[in-house]
Amino acid sequence: MRARADRTTKRATWPVATTLLLMACAGGQREPGPGAPVAQSPLPVGEETRDAGPAMEVPAAGPGSLSTTSTPAPDETRGALVDHTLWQPVEADEDPFEDRHAGAACPDVSVRVEEFNAEPAYAVHTELCNYLTARQTTQRDIHPGETIKVRVWHFMLTAPNPAEAHLAIDVAGLRVLNERIPIPQAAGLIRAEVPVVRAIPAGAPVYFHLHNHGQNVYGLIELSAGPQTKVGTPQ
């Protein structure tokens, strides 16, 4: 593995109009319970919310080991799995995703920490960034019986020609998000809550992956673990 120098991630704040739009969206979202429909209020015109498909187990990549025998009691509260200032891009030979292409590029200026309705998010601006796989390690233990929860926001997606974006998140070999997003697409929130059946220790590898077409903006708002979200609990 080639050593990479740490870099400082910049912080920025969305314009007031954008923040109001996000507040309108986030205020109406609700997470589903087992077997229950999603309860949510209508989003502002031109926006949508999508629940991601089922999680997939894939071979773990990079450093980190998993415990399959220890089964401590689940935490009573949810906790962040990542620190958005710690994401680092990976080289081609360390990338666990299959769609890297010869022209893959994502300069440092395209990624930074920004605020979405007062929540820090890992934001990717794709004017110059057509492909990114970034990595860090989990900041806490994940116990069997807990869930991993994901929220990713994107603004209206555009491209010169119809295309498809690939957005994925892998936590220690568990593919908790694996979305193929048609472009063009209205602005919206992608969310998933995936049950965990095996212990995953702090320090396990986490990968964020985006293969985009066109000039768009994506923001990873939440990647957390804890008890399953109850019906009627705000996001």
Given this model, what pLDDT does residue 52 score? Answer: 62
Which CATH architecture describes the domain 12-30+43-226?
Sandwich (2.60)
Share of the chain above pLDDT 70, in %: 65
The partner residues of 39 in beta bridges, in order of sequence, read none
Please enumerate in sequence order all residues whose Cβ is within 8 A of that of 151, keeping only pairs 6 or more positions apart, or say none.
189, 190, 191, 220, 221, 222, 235
% helix, strand, coil for the chain, step of 5: 10, 40, 50
Average pLDDT over residues 112-133: 94
β-partners of residue 125 are 217
Hey, is 232 helix, strand or coil? coil
Cβ neighbour number for residue 215 with a 10 Å cutoff: 14
Could you tell me the two tokens for 162? 């119809």
Q: State pLDDT tens for residues 77-120.
A: 899 999 999 999 999 999 999 989 999 999 999 999 999 888 99
Q: What is the pTM of this model?
A: 0.69
pLDDT in tens, 159-175: 888 999 999 999 999 99
pLDDT for res 214 = 86
- The 10s digit of each residue's pLDDT in 41-60 is 333 333 444 566 555 544 44
Task: Please tell me the distance from the alpha carbon of residue 15 to that of residue 20, in angstroms, as a whole number.
Answer: 9
Domain positions in the chain are 12-30+43-226
Handedness of CA 37, 39, 45, 51 (dihedral sign): negative
In this predicted structure, what is the pLDDT of residue 86? 98
pLDDT (tens digit per residue) in 10-37 = 455 444 344 433 344 444 443 444 443 3
Q: What is the pLDDT of residue 160?
A: 86
3-class state of residue 20 by DSSP: helix
Alpha-carbon distance of 2 to 112, in angstroms, equals 22
How far is the C-alpha of 13 from the C-alpha of 219, rounded, in Å?
A: 12
Please state, in angstroms and rounded to a whole number, the distance separating the CA atoms of residues 88 and 73: 32
User: What is d(CA 181, CA 82) in angstroms, rounded to the nearest whole number?
Assistant: 24
Average pLDDT score over the chain: 77
Q: Which of the pair, 28 or 151, is modelled with greater confidence? A: 151
Instruction: Give the integer Cα–Cα distance in Å for 48 and 69.
Output: 41
The reported pLDDT for the residue numbered 215 is 86
